[in-house]
Amino acid sequence: MSKPILFILSDIYGTIEQNWILEYESRLLRSFQVEVFDCKELANIKANDVSDVHAEFLNGGIERAVMELESLEHRPTVILGFSIGGTIAWKFASKTKTPSIYLVSATRIRKESWKPLSDISLYFGENDAYRPSEKWMNKLNLKATILEEESHECYRHEKVVELVCADILEPK
């Protein structure tokens, strides 16, 4: 029997020289067929300066990445997205049936007024200034795990890797 498919969607920096993403992949490989996607490549972003990359994502890049994922022949059972990758996962899951999404530091979802019909697990650093408000969370009937003393790039830390992978491997 084949394993369920899990997509990992990178943050704004992509996957080049991002060893932290390998920590997630190695832990999840035993239970899933894991496919890692570089969000910069999905969105066809050529810029390297972070502010330019960010602007390109906001000016059509997110939509290009979603369309690229939609063009794939296979569909994931689970998506794990980090920061901008979490926003892409949210939008993809809203268009394509995806049973579970795990979003870490996906702060741009705070701009959304609807949610995908997926099981949604959210994680935000306590000190992330752009995390969605409690009012927004209540409006969409969502709950998030708030990671104490963590900031936006908390997903790079070992304790967060352990927590998120444990939640994926043994969902509540």
Q: What is the reported pLDDT for 169? A: 97
Domain ranges of the chain: 5-169
Does residue 160 have a pLDDT over 70? yes
pLDDT tens-digit series, residues 98-126:
999 999 999 999 999 999 999 999 999 99
In the chain, pLDDT over 70 holds for what percent of residues? 99
Q: What is the reported pLDDT for 16? A: 83
Say which amino acid occupies 97.
K
Cβ count within 10 A of residue 17: 6
Structural contact between residues 53 and 40, judged by C-beta atoms closer than 8 angstroms: yes
Name the band, by pLDDT with cuts 50, 70 and 90, for residue 17.
Answer: confident
Does residue 48 have a pLDDT over 90? no
**What is the C-alpha to C-alpha distance for residues 30 and 169, in angstroms, rounded to an integer?**
10
Q: What is the reported pLDDT for 172? A: 64
**What is the C-alpha to C-alpha distance for residues 159 and 138, in angstroms, rounded to an integer?**
27
Does residue 93 have a pLDDT over 70? yes
What is 5-169's CATH topology? Rossmann fold (3.40.50)
Structural contact between residues 100 and 77, judged by C-beta atoms closer than 8 angstroms: yes
Q: What is the reported pLDDT for 78? A: 98
Name the band, by pLDDT with cuts 50, 70 and 90, for residue 1.
Answer: low
**What is the C-alpha to C-alpha distance for residues 150 and 126, in angstroms, rounded to an integer?**
6
